[in-house]
Amino acid sequence: MFQLIDVFWAYTLIAILILVGRFIRQRVNILKSLFIPSSVVAGVIALLLGPSALGAVIKNTVGANSDLVNGIFPEAILTVWSKSPGIFINIVFATLFLGQIIPGWRTIWQQASPQAAFGQILGWGQYVIGLILGITVLTPIFQLPPIAASLIEVAFEGGHGTSAGMADTFQELGFPEAADLSLTLATIGLVSGIIIGTWLIDWGRRTGRIELQPQDDIASTINQDSIHVNTEEHPAITAARDRLFKDLLIDPISLNFGFVGLAVAIGWLILQALGFIESITWGSGDGLKLIAFVPLFPMALIGGILVQLLLVKTNRSYMVSRPLMERIGGLALDVTIVTALASISLTALGANLIPLLILAVGGIAWNVCVYVFLAPRLIPFYPNERGLGDLGQSMGVTATGILLLRMVDPDNRTGAFECFAYKQLLFEPILGGGLFTAAAPALIVRYGSIPMLLFTSVILTFWLIFGLWNCQRLRKGN
Residue 121, C-beta contacts closer than 8 angstroms, at least 6 positions apart: 370, 374, 378, 460, 463, 464, 467
84, with CB counted inside 10 A (0-12, 13-18, 19+), is buried
Weakly modelled stretches of the chain, pLDDT under 50? 216-231
Looking at residue 477, what is its pLDDT? Answer: 76
CB 40 within 8 A of CB 337: yes
pLDDT in the model for residue 460: 97
The answer to whether 214 and 205 are in contact (CB under 8 A) is yes
Query: What pLDDT sits at residue 106?
Result: 80
Q: State how far the alpha carbon of 18 is from the alpha carbons of 212, 268, 334, in Å.
A: 37, 30, 8
C-beta separation of 227 from 200 below 8 A: no
- Whether 92 and 297 have beta carbons less than 8 Å apart is answered as yes
**350-395 residue pLDDT tens:** 888 899 999 999 999 999 999 999 999 999 988 888 898 899 888 8
Give me the pLDDT at residue 430, please.
87
3-class secondary structure per residue, 268-324: HHHHHHHHHHHHHCCCCCCCCCCHHHCCCHHHHHHHHHHHHHHHHHCCCHHHCCHHH
Give the integer Cα–Cα distance in Å for 260 and 264. 6
pLDDT, position 422: 77
CA distance between the termini of the chain: 64
If one counts every other C-beta atom within 10 angstroms of the C-beta of residue 233, the result is: 16
**What was the pLDDT predicted at 303?**
93
Q: What is the DSSP string of 64-109?
A: TTSTTTTTTS-HHHHHHHHHSHHHHHHHHHHTSSTT-----HHHHH
For 269-304, b/e burial (b = at least 16 CB within 10 A) is: ebbeebeeebeeeebeeeeebbbebbbbbbbbbbbb
Closest residue by Cα to residue 187 from 337, 14, 295: 337
Alpha-carbon span 420 to 405, nearest angstrom: 9
